[in-house]
Structure 1
């Protein structure tokens, strides 16, 4: 795995750790409201709060998987690619079902990183 691919993989992981932070620890914050385009008042709903926290754990695990893939002595490239493809698929689904810009905001860096793994 090239240095550029490793660097981009770390950046994608950091992005997903940030999403985890917003969804799990800063669920009702102004930042969460802005990033997810949800009125802050709605973020106080216990139902939405629970869903966000659960989703945040998944996003954090994606970050952990990407970091692990960098340091894995075997199959690091394959692990990275699988997780990146998953992230891109989720971003495509989000852009179709929710907001078209999700493909760029959540999937853009992952797409670039996946492309670098091919060279």
Structure 2
């Protein structure tokens, strides 16, 4: 169960690196505009906001990677992963309510699944 928790958490971290790349570097490309359903004009106007969003997604990924690979104390690892997964779930809920409903499934659901498995895997320690 712990291995599954770590794999799911790693998936969420990698997903947020991908979101960072999309928002910070590919926002105004054909691929980025297709993913986010943007016109070239809208992409140009919102590019600075997207870079900011991407940076925050990068912070979420960094926190998860930090916990996965650099925190050795199991209690601190548990708590740090728990915190960042909760942040991702909240971001998914908020994003689905304010921007695009599918964010709940693309961002929130993987984090929620990782959160549940993480909680179950580490709760007995």
* Same topology, TM > 0.5: yes
Unaligned runs of 5+ residues in structure 1 are none
Please, which moves more after superposition, 7-16 or 34-43?
Answer: 34-43
Cα shift at 1:39: 2.2
Aligned partner of 1:44 in structure 2 is: 44
Q: What TM-score, normalized to structure 1?
A: 0.90
Aligned partner of 1:73 in structure 2 is: 72
Aligned partner of 2:55 in structure 1 is: 57
Q: RMSD of aligned C-alpha atoms?
A: 1.4
Aligned partner of 2:29 in structure 1 is: 29
Cα shift at 1:34: 2.3
Cα shift at 1:31: 2.2
Q: Secondary structure at the match of 1:38?
A: coil
Return the structure number with greater relative CO, CA threshold 8 A, min gap 6: 2
Q: What TM-score, normalized to structure 2?
A: 0.86
- Do residues 4 (structure 1) and 38 (structure 2) align? no
Aligned partner of 1:99 in structure 2 is: 100
1:49-96 C-alpha deviation (Å, 9 max, x unpaired): 111111111111111110111121121111111111111111111111
User: What is the CA–CA distance in structure 2 between the aligned matches of 1:52 and 1:104, rounded to whole Å?
Assistant: 20
Q: Secondary structure at the match of 2:119?
A: coil
Aligned partner of 1:116 in structure 2 is: 117
User: What is the CA–CA distance in structure 1 between the aligned matches of 2:102 and 2:22, rounded to whole Å?
Assistant: 19
Aligned partner of 2:123 in structure 1 is: none
Structure with greater helix share of residues = 2
Q: How many positions carry a matched residue from both structures?
A: 117
